[in-house]
Amino acid sequence: MLIVSEEVCQEVVGRADAFGAVEAVFAAMAKGDAYNFPVIREAIGHADALYGFKSGFDKAGLALGLKSGGYWPGNAAKGITNHQSTVFLFDPDTGKIGALVGGNYLTAIRTAAASSISIAHLARKDAKVLGMVGAGHQAAFQLRAAAEQRDFEKVVAWNLHADMLPKLGAVADELGLPFEAVEREQLGAEADVIITITSAHEPLLMADWIKPGTHIACMGTDTAGKQELDPALMKAATVFTDEIAQSISIGEAQHAIAAGLISEADITPIGDVINGEHPGRTSDGEITLFDGTGVGLQDLAVASAAARLAEQSGKAASISL
Ligand code: NAD
């Protein structure tokens, strides 16, 4: 079996690789060729940790496996990342383990790929201002990936903890994009594309603040109880997602569904747009919204790419079990 370390993943998997792998698996999911198994996530009663598995099988890409990991809040004090994960890939023909792949960098790059795929397929072509809500670990990856999808001329940003914004501003600077910290209402008034990537449990953006034609990638809400948007914004928008089952239970749509503002039938898998089964945006004034919940198949897709690229470049270690 191959062993691909975190460092090697960073060396061999670029944003374009992640975009291609995740776009292909979203397309396969919408065709019924790839499916996620039920997610397991448990408080283990030790070190305040949450631990679990995300798994699935992509028949089209022949990726079978799982991502195992979770959240250890005490890690930062030990100098390591609170979120920890590892991907295990198996040979779908024999069940033998194929690769063990570090999952931390891959989680960030596959999540950024998801929102950038939504921008590529749903945002107006003439989008000029990118709005960032959130400035944590994921936000820098999100900004870099989004910046490649449209000819943005400016980034406006808001974060609850304002002291985190300069770090995101430095990323914008590297990309040659002017960066301005603004209040949320102004962000809504200016931005053509908005990414939300926070741990919020209450609406951060109200429906009245968002201008017609905006595309929103809502990426932070991945657990029951988390929330970033006014449910009325979901009602006003055309809603797309990675997986409907997750969108309505742990994604942003959970709140609009609970309030009776939208139903499951109002949500379209983004794979349908990728496959040409749904037109996506149909007018310049339409608000489009991608509810990115994060599925195990995304992890398997980028881990498969990592294993392939690491093997090709001679950077994977190999052992027999
Ligand atoms: P982080 O801890 O590095 O950053 C957290 C961010 O949320 C910061 O910007 C912080 O200021 C902000 N924040 C914290 N509490 C808040 C509150 N009550 N109101 C508003 N903002 C608040 O975390 P991260 O790794 O950047 O992850 C951000 C979010 O994205 C998390 O909720 C995480 O679970 C989620 N996530 C989603 C996916 C997915 O596939 N959709 C993948 C990875 C992470």
Please write the tens of the pLDDT for every residue from 275-291: 999 999 999 999 999 99
Pocket perturbation via mutation, ligand 1, pick of 198, 201, 254, 299 by most ligand atoms within 8 A of CB: 198
If asked whether residues 26 and 96 sit together in one domain, one would say yes
Report, as residue numbers or ranges, the catalytic residues.
67
Same domain? 261 vs 132: yes
Q: Which residues line ligand 1 (CB under 6 A)?
A: 107, 111, 134-139, 159-161, 164, 197-201, 204, 219-220, 222, 292-294
What is residue 8's predicted lDDT score, i.e. its pLDDT? Answer: 98
Closest C-alpha residue for ligand 1 atom 8: 136
**pLDDT bucket at 236, cuts 50 / 70 / 90:** very high
Q: How far apart are CA 108 and CA 201, in angstroms?
A: 21
Domain that holds residue 313: 2-107+297-318
Which pLDDT score, from 0 to 100, does residue 125 have?
98
Tokens of 301: 């897709």
Whether residues 203 and 277 fall in one domain: yes
Rg (CA), the chain: 19
Per-residue confidence band for 25, with pLDDT thresholds at 50, 70 and 90: very high
Clarify whether residues 245 and 279 are in a common domain: yes
CA distance 82 to 195: 22
Could you read off the pLDDT of 164-194 as tens digits, one per residue? 999 999 999 999 999 999 999 999 999 999 9
Q: Is the pLDDT of residue 321 over 90?
A: no
Q: Does residue 256 sit in the same domain as residue 131? A: yes
Do 88 and 133 sit in the same domain of this protein?
Answer: no
**For residue 222, how far is its CA from the centre of ligand 1 (angstroms)?**
10
Residues 154 and 268 reside in one and the same domain: yes
- Which residue has its alpha carbon closest to ligand 1 atom 17? 200
CATH of the domain at 258: 3.40.50.720
Q: How confident is the model at residue 258 (pLDDT cuts 50, 70, 90)?
A: very high
Residue of minimum CA distance from atom 33 in ligand 1: 220
Match 């959240």 to its residue by tokens: 71
| 0.85 exceeded by pTM | yes
In angstroms, the Cα distances linking 282 to 47, 116, 221, 238, 239 are 49, 19, 26, 10, 13
Pair 275, 128 in one domain: yes
Name which of 149, 143, 290 is nearest 219 in CA terms: 290
Of 201, 213, 221, 270, nearest to 237 by C-alpha is 213
Same domain, 144 and 226: yes
- Mutation choice for ligand 1 from 84, 118, 138, 299, CB with most ligand atoms inside 8 A: 138
Ligand 1: which atom is nearest the Cα of residue 110? 40
144 in a domain, yes or no?
yes
